[in-house]
Structure 1
């Protein structure tokens, strides 16, 4: 059974653009690499041809997986979402109760996650622990380093 994932409009467009790029440019390059390798002589002893065939197979696998992701993707309509609870696409301001550090995260789908930009997956331990919490709630989250407690200070979209 396919898993439905929810994306921001930008995140879904990025996936669609990547898929289109792989289909057009990726396949064209793979075909060109195969043509060049085939022109180099006997295929039974041509390691370049074998490598090009393997690369083509991996490209087709990546395209297939990305098609499945895009096919099961749904764009979120943020206008109807409850602002009082942490949900996917929520921007959350948190305070670590242990060291009083303030953190800002946006909860997104796995494929959109990028810690450098403050986007964490709703399937990550912190993301799972925050889902459904309201302002003032303290979430106790188990991470590989131990247990952390975060107080939800603010929820925005």
Structure 2
């Protein structure tokens, strides 16, 4: 990871904190129990259960450290009243592709939270970069690897 801030919405921070709590309070004790059971089976040099439990422990500890690092470097974007109705990280935007006439609603979030299946796009995506700083009824051009296209901002929340 780079040394720059990690952008998270307050919702994203809460999800990471829940995952961290689950890893520390539920998963880690389960893995320790698996290690104890596997160790009780005897010879560790040919014990596949022990090796699997050690690998699982390494994965869990790595994820705990990763989340703790993300949370320590996180810049939290609060969902405040967007009085100027300007698009920024944390904003939900409804827009229309002017070529296809298709309307879509997305929420702009940091890279860590991006999930296109939940209509959450990264602030570093071409679409979000084109919209940031724009207002309702603004038209902007989205520059992708293929051909650029224009969109009309319909609503900002």
Q: 1:113-146 CA distances to partner (integer Å, 9 max, x unpaired)?
A: 3333322221222222221222333222234554
Asked if the contact 1:8–1:76 (Cα under 8 Å) also holds between the matched residues in 2, the reply is: yes
Structure 2 residue runs of 5 or longer lacking an equivalent are none
State the secondary structure of the residue aligned to 1:30.
Answer: helix
Aligned to 1:95: 96
Aligned to 1:107: 108
Q: TM-score scaled by structure 1?
A: 0.86
* 1:81 to 1:154, Cα distance in 2 relative to 1, 3 A: closer
Q: TM-score scaled by structure 2?
A: 0.86
Greater mean deviation of Cα atoms: 76-85 or 134-143: 76-85
Residues 56-95 of structure 1 aligned to structure 2 (within 5 Å): 56-79=57-80, 81=82, 83-95=84-96
Aligned length, in residue pairs: 156
Asked if the contact 2:78–2:90 (Cα under 8 Å) also holds between the matched residues in 1, the reply is: no
State the secondary structure of the residue aligned to 1:40.
Answer: coil
Structure 1 residue runs of 5 or longer lacking an equivalent are none
Aligned to 1:120: 121
Kindly state the Cα deviation for residue 5 of structure 1 after the two structures are TM-superposed: 2.8
Asked if the contact 1:141–1:149 (Cα under 8 Å) also holds between the matched residues in 2, the reply is: yes
Q: Over the residues paired in the alignment, what is the CA RMSD in angstroms?
A: 2.1
Residues 2-151 of structure 1 aligned to structure 2 (within 5 Å): 2-79=3-80, 81=82, 83-143=84-144, 146-151=147-152
State the secondary structure of the residue aligned to 1:19.
Answer: helix
Matches of 1:17 and 1:121, distance apart in 2: 21
Matches of 2:145 and 2:26, distance apart in 1: 40
